[in-house]
Structures are given as C-alpha cells and as structure tokens.
Structure 1
Amino acid sequence: MNYQEALKFIENSHKFGMRLGLENSYKLLELLGNPQDKLKFVHVAGTNGKGSVCSFISNSLKEQGYKVGLYTSPYLETFTERIRLNGNNISEEDVARIITIMKEKIEQMAAEGHPYPTEFEIETAMAFYYYCEQQADYVVLEVGLGGRYDATNVIKSPLASVIVSLSLDHIGVLGDTLGKIAYEKAGIIKENSIAVVYKQKKEAEEVIKDICKEKNTKYIEVDFEDLETKKSDIYSQIFDCTVLGERFENMEITLIGDHQVNNAVLALTVLKTLRDERNIEISNEAIKRAFLNTKWPGRIEKIKDHPMFIIDGAHNEDGAKSLSKALQKHFSGKKMTLLIGMLKDKDIDSVLEVLLDKFDKVITTTPNSDRAISCNELKEKIEKYMPNVIAIPKIEDAVKYTLKNAKDDDVIISAGSLYMIGHVRQLVK
C-alpha cells in the first residue's frame, strides 16, 4: 500500500461514523501488541487551548533532549501533522507501512465479528504503534473528542492528566451543560494519579474535584493570581508568574492573545509537576527556549501583511471571546473584514454574537466537510446582526474576493472551522 492508498483506507473507515466506547480500540491495539502500554504519556483534554498547551509541553521536553511524540487533531494542511516526533511529521512512507500492517489486523477483527474501527480509532492506534517503534521517551497525547470514551483513553496510567479550559462544545455528543461536559472530559483522570487543571467555572470545577477524590488522584489547580503580563503585541508576549511556589520571570511566547499566556502558565504548571512529582529532569532554560520557539498554526496566526491577514480556529463561544479580546486590543480603529465558515454542530449563534460587532463586512463560505453549514444559511443567520454580508460557496473564490476588496491597511480575519482555516492558510501562504 502506498501513502495515497493508506489515506484512502483511513478515509473509507469514515463511513462507519463515530462511535463512543473503547472496546474496539482495545481489540485493535491488542492485535498490534499493545504498543500504548510501553509508552509514557501526558494526556490532555478540554475545549480550548489543547493544541497550544500540548505544544508548549512537548517542545520543553524536546529542548531538554528527550525523544517526544506529539499527537493532535484535526490537522490544518496535511494529515501527517497529527503524528509528530521531535517536531517532525511522521513520514508518508511510515504511514503507508504501518497502515499496511494494520489493515491485516482490521480484517482479522472484522472476520472475528468485531465492529470495523472508526477513522479516529485507526489513526490513534497508528500513532501508538509508531511512537512505540520509534522508542519515544514521552508522548504528549491530545484527546480527540470528550475524554471518557475517546480512543486515546485506552492508556493505563499517564504521568499527568491535564484539563484545559472548558466550555460548551459538541453539545449533541457530550451533553448540554458545563457539568456534563466536565464529566466527559475528566474521564481521562486515572486512579492514584495526578490531574493538572485550568481554573474552571464552579459547575465544572466541582465535577472534576469529585472525580479526583473518587479516584484518589492529586488535584492541582493552575494559579493565575500572581500573573503579570509585561508586554503584549502582535509579535510576542512577556510575562512573570509564580507556579507551585517557584517564580518564573520574563517568559516570552510568540502566540497572540491573553488566553495564550494562560495556556503557557498551565503548561508551566504541568512541567513543574513532572519535575517535582515524577522526577523528570527539565531545566528552566529548556522551558524558556521552548516557549519562545513554540508556534501553533491556526490560532490567531498572522499569515500576511498588507492587508494583514489573520487566521483563527475560533469555533465556540470561549474561542470567539479570546479572538474578540485580541482584536479589540491590537486592531481597534482598523477596518476589519471577517471571512467565516462553520460546522453545523458548533454553537454558531454564540460565536456570531461575540464576534460580529467588530467587523465592517462579512464573507461567508462553506468548509469542505459533510458537517458544514452552507454559506447561504450562515449568511441568513448573520443578517440578523448586520447588513453587509456576502456568501461565496468555494473557499478559493472567497479568499480571492476578500483579498481583492481589501485595502493595504485593512485587517482580514478568517475564523470558524479549523477545516476551513487550514485551507485558507495554504491559499494565502
């Protein structure tokens, strides 16, 4: 099987839909020799900031000299981005080779009467197999959806379970209250372990604390009390903070937005916990270098000057609030255009309510996904808030139109679906 055939094989499993439950993952991994049991994980769940937090943590471990796997989803431009080792994407040859091995096991499963694995189950098993084969020292593992029944949750005892900021997302699958969502996300917390948790709203915090108590797991909450941001512009941010009794000064990150400083403090708390509780050697110098060099594409990322073009994966209310705050802080008084496409299962109205008052003009488009809301339906929703809306179905045409009609000192923001902004990023760059 070559790379294209391997991708087709993975994509074809899409027709088996999404399935909550771990039995199938356990079976597939058992046939592959249970690679996940031979690895050490930092497991990260939550709604907003998973990718940035994972990136800060994995880069710090890499800077210290460890061999580090980073598993994230979805991808922005190329499938291989999802499975990285020391900052490099898995090779196309490795994808083809491992999927060829897995195909045989999957056929065996089907012959024995087990359900066919889903796309995400196959991808996750492939990542475990690859990291085990490559003898990764550590793997920073991002949850796909939820936590409790997510395919990544087959791991036994992570070095730390990390819960980032929670908000309402995937409400059709995970529940319609913050408490229900917290219960699903906190499903990654294991017995006699350590949980490092972002400061949550009370409803979510109580649920997570109860689960930690039940599982005899140490609950460490991130403290933002002593956080001071000394510089914040479109290029970088510098902050001081105290984490678990230790002072960190002049920490610099190039990710934009107040929320990214908070994500960095959460990542620092995880790293300090690994050092103090798990005796993993990580120097402050390695952390400083890693934080400065951490990039996370698609999160308030500037991809062009004149006109300034920024992409952001804001697809829920909290993500939209973070983007809105950054726009107000850095671009107040500028003429701004929004290029937006979204998926139907997102909280579209909340996102629109938060964002639209910042923009002079909106262009809607349709992401390449069977879950997308059409640009015309989205246009109708937006017209309740403002008159200046144009619907352009194809992303290529929408980008061309937006750039053609923007002046040099305007600001274009492309937001909504990650599937869409990855496409936009390729087109503009």
Structure 2
Amino acid sequence: MIEQQVTEAIQWIFASYTRVPAAKRVGFDRDVRHPQWTRWLLNAVGRPDEAAYNVAVTGSKGKGAHAILLAAILQAAGLRVGLFTSPHLVDFLERLRVDGRAVSNEDFVRLAKVVQEAAKEMPLADDHYVGPVGLVAVMASIWFREQTTDVNVFELGRGALYDDVNQVRHQGALVTPIFAEHLDKLGPEWSDVVREKLGVVTDDTAWTVSYQQDVMVERMMEEHFAARHQVWRLLGRDFTYEVMSGTGEVWTVQVASAKNEPLCAKIGVNLAPFAGNVAVALMAAKQVLKSLGKSGPALDVSLEHLAFPGRLQVISNRPTCLVDGAIHAVNARFVVDWLLRAKPSGKITAVLSLPDDKDAAGVVETLAPHLDEIIVTTCSNPHLYYTRDLVAVAKDHVQRVQWEPNVEVAVQRARASANSEDTILFLGTQSFVGDVLRIFHVPTKSLWHAHQ
C-alpha cells in the first residue's frame, strides 16, 4: 500500500512538467524555466528554508560528491545535517537525507501531500510548470525543518540562475569545476554557462568556496566577486591540501591556508582520488561552523566509514567489481589511479555506458592501456541517447569489444566470463551506476557503513 502511494507521489512530482507541451520546454533555461514558482511554494508552506543554515552546491563536475562530503564532514563535526541531492541512484527517496539516512516512505508521501495541497492555490500560467526538482526541494525543506537540522546542503541541477533549487535561501555556496557543458540549455557560450552557475551567489549568500577552475572561469569569478562584499575562497589560490598515507587503509587530507586554519579529515583509501573534493568540503565546512559560532581552533574529522555510493565503490569480490560514474577523461583518470594501487592480477574488463553527451572517447583513451576487454551497453533511463558507434571508438584502442544493448545482460555477461582473480569495471552515466547497484543489491539508503 505505502509503496503504491510513493509511486503516486513521484508521478505527481512530474505531472506539472509533463503537462506542458515538449516544445514549450525546449530552449535555454532562461527562456523556458520559471523557478519563481518554487519560491512561491516555499512561501506558501511557511518558508521552511529559513529555519536552518543552508549551503547550495553548483558546478559541472562533482556536485553530488562535494555535497555528500560537506554533509558528512558537518555531521562528523557534531551537527544535525539535511542533504538534498539529485538525481538518485537506486531509490528516489535517496534525494532527501538527514544525517545520511534517506527519508521514510511514510514521510515522503506525507510531505508530497502537503506540497500538493499548497500547489492547488498556485496561479500557474498554462505554459509554465513547476520543476520536479523544485517540488522535491520544497518537500526536503519542510522535512529538514521538522527534523530540526542545524544545516542543510542542497545540490543544484545543471545551472543556478534559473535553477529551481537555487530558490532555497542559502547563506553559503560551494562551486565545483565549471566546464563548457549543457550549451544548448545554459549557453550558447562557455561564458554563458559560467554566468548561469554563478547565479548561485545571491544577496543572501555570505561566502563561496570553489574548487580550482579554468583560467577563464577564475577570471569571471574574480570579476563577479569584485563588486560584492562576500568572502570567496579558491582552491590553489587561498588554500591547498596534501594527502598523507597512514596505517592500513586510512589516509589523511590536510588543508593549509594563509589563515593557518588546521583542517583535516581521515578518509578511507577509496576516497583518496577525491582528496581535492574533501579539501574544498573541509573549507566550506569551516565557513559554516564559523557562521554558526561553532568554530573551534581546529576541524579534525573522520570519514573512514563514509560509504560514498557509486564512486569508485567495490561492490563485489572474486571477481572484483567496481562501479564509478566516470563519464569523461578526468574521472577515468581516477579509475586508472585505483587500478595502479590495486594492481589486479587477472583480466580487466570495462562495461561502459556512455550516452551521446558524455566524453566517450576520453574515457576509452584513458582506460585502454589497462583493459583486456570492453563491453558497450546502455542503461534503463529512456531519456538518454546512445546513437554513436561507441564500439568503433573502442576498437581503435582495445582489440576485444562487444556490444550488448541490454544493461542487465551486459552485466551478467561480464560476470559470467570472469574468473575469481579478474576485475570488472562498471563505468558510465549515473543512471547506469544506479542500474548496477540495483542489480548487485547494494544498499543505498544510508551514506554510512552499517557499523557507523
């Protein structure tokens, strides 16, 4: 019964979007999106986003990773933390978490009904829609207020200036690397994408922490902040980090800055490739704690038990099966680094799911020297397109390449042909990562391992 109600709630979340003809939803976000309706709903349900301190996360690469890391660090520092991320991997309810645990079915259904009731009074124009992600962000804000969180972390979508989630009032912002992406929605130029992303900095935003950026992006950020009396800290300019290996599987990320702020996090070896992300999240966490008057002489936390689902995650052994959302050469480099540390002795197979908008050539070229075989597949998301001849791309670099359009069959084929000493890499778009986690029955309701 409750599962059916969850399904109906999710269907309602998308109903406003789907009722508008597709032609009205095609174009630049600034022309077709109307995020003010998310603000209208937040006001209508009592402005729940004003009940706690909020941080918004935007950028092109690693938004979800940075959001999870920031939430985990703040929780480890003793705060009660709400986390909103999108999309989900396996279960829609993963999008709403408090202290790493997903919202219950019952609460999700109840929250949807509250927002649905408020939405009945909305004077929505016929050619406008409320973004599905905006509706869920309103639900999250209500739940976080009910849960009396100290701070909430909200991951934005592809943009910021015209992004529904950006309507949530936030005092802090974290910016991940900004690439020339979604030019058909945020462009047409890379500079347009940067301007859209920098919309995350609102009149309510007191500080921004950013990952290292391309020279052009950094220049635009300098200009953006020149006229604003807001703090902004940039990795590589205002702070640096180093990674120190410790005993066993525990490493330490140490952040250094001109302010001599002692910031460090103990991490599992699985997080080592994300050390820069950890450093940025530590600096952002320091800003949150300072703003809340909870900043001590040092910030020293342990993330050893953070599960970090779908990111360089070993989900099975004998054969070793690893899943990761590598969709371009930079991510693929992380996978190569993992292989160099793991030193697998058997055959290495990569099962790749890379839709048309991903850097398939970059992923293949980066991984190819380490692979014995590639299986090319799709995923269960019907809204992604796989029209390129990725088999031909792969065959330019790896001799053994197979094409299997059914993702479940592709996974089964890779596992059936592997010996216990072999390694299988499941790499691709987030929908594919979710498919693999579901097929392997990997739990995703908690961000922390069971003994946490």
TM-score, length-scaled by structure 1: 0.89
CA distance in 2, matches of 1:75, 1:283: 36
Alignment of 1:245 with 2:260, yes or no, is: yes
Match of 1:265 among 263, 273, 279: 279
Alignment of 1:310 with 2:319, yes or no, is: no
Partner SS for 1:24: helix
Identify if the C-alpha distance between structure 1 residues 382 and 282 changes in structure 2 by more than 3 Å, giving closer, same or farther: farther
1:275-320 per-residue CA deviation (whole Å, 9 max, x = no partner) reads 34552346857x423x223221011111111111100011234323
Alignment of 1:169 with 2:181, yes or no, is: yes
Alignment of 1:367 with 2:370, yes or no, is: no
CA distance in 1, matches of 2:334, 2:55: 25
For 2:46, the equivalent position in structure 1 comes to 33
CA distance in 1, matches of 2:118, 2:391: 46
Match of 1:296 among 284, 291, 308: 308
Aligned 1:24-423 pairs, distance under 5 A: 24-109=37-122, 113=126, 115-156=128-169, 158-175=170-187, 178-191=190-203, 193-223=206-236, 227-231=241-245, 235-243=249-257, 244-248=259-263, 251-254=265-268, 256=270, 258-281=272-295, 284=298, 287-289=300-302, 291-331=303-343, 335-374=347-386, 377-423=389-435
Using the TM superposition, give the Cα deviation of residue 327 of structure 1 relative to its aligned residue in structure 2, in angstroms.
Answer: 2.9
Identify if the C-alpha distance between structure 1 residues 26 and 230 changes in structure 2 by more than 3 Å, giving closer, same or farther: closer
Identify if the C-alpha distance between structure 1 residues 39 and 391 changes in structure 2 by more than 3 Å, giving closer, same or farther: same
1:193-221 per-residue CA deviation (whole Å, 9 max, x = no partner) reads 21111121211111112111233322211
Letter in 2 for 1:310: L
Q: Is the 8 A contact 2:96 2:102 kept in 1?
A: yes
Q: Is the 8 A contact 2:311 2:323 kept in 1?
A: yes
Which one is further off, 366-375 or 13-22? Answer: 13-22
Partner SS for 2:326: coil
1:11-59 per-residue CA deviation (whole Å, 9 max, x = no partner) reads 4445256653422212232332332233320111122232232223222
Using the TM superposition, give the Cα deviation of residue 366 of structure 1 relative to its aligned residue in structure 2, in angstroms.
Answer: 1.4
Q: Is the 8 A contact 1:164 1:198 kept in 2?
A: yes
Letter in 1 for 2:13: I
Using the TM superposition, give the Cα deviation of residue 335 of structure 1 relative to its aligned residue in structure 2, in angstroms.
Answer: 2.7
CA distance in 1, matches of 2:336, 2:247: 15
Partner SS for 2:304: helix
For 1:4, the equivalent position in structure 2 comes to 7
Q: Is the 8 A contact 2:244 2:252 kept in 1?
A: yes
Q: Is the 8 A contact 1:43 1:141 kept in 2?
A: yes
Identify if the C-alpha distance between structure 1 residues 94 and 363 changes in structure 2 by more than 3 Å, giving closer, same or farther: same
Partner SS for 2:66: helix
Q: Is the 8 A contact 1:166 1:178 kept in 2?
A: no
CA distance in 2, matches of 1:21, 1:255: 43
Q: Is the 8 A contact 1:336 1:410 kept in 2?
A: yes
Q: Provide the alpha-carbon RMSD of the alignment.
A: 2.8
5+ residue gaps, structure 1: none
Identify if the C-alpha distance between structure 1 residues 253 and 283 changes in structure 2 by more than 3 Å, giving closer, same or farther: farther
Q: Is the 8 A contact 1:172 1:345 kept in 2?
A: no
Q: Is the 8 A contact 1:80 1:91 kept in 2?
A: yes
Work out the number of aligned pairs and report it: 425
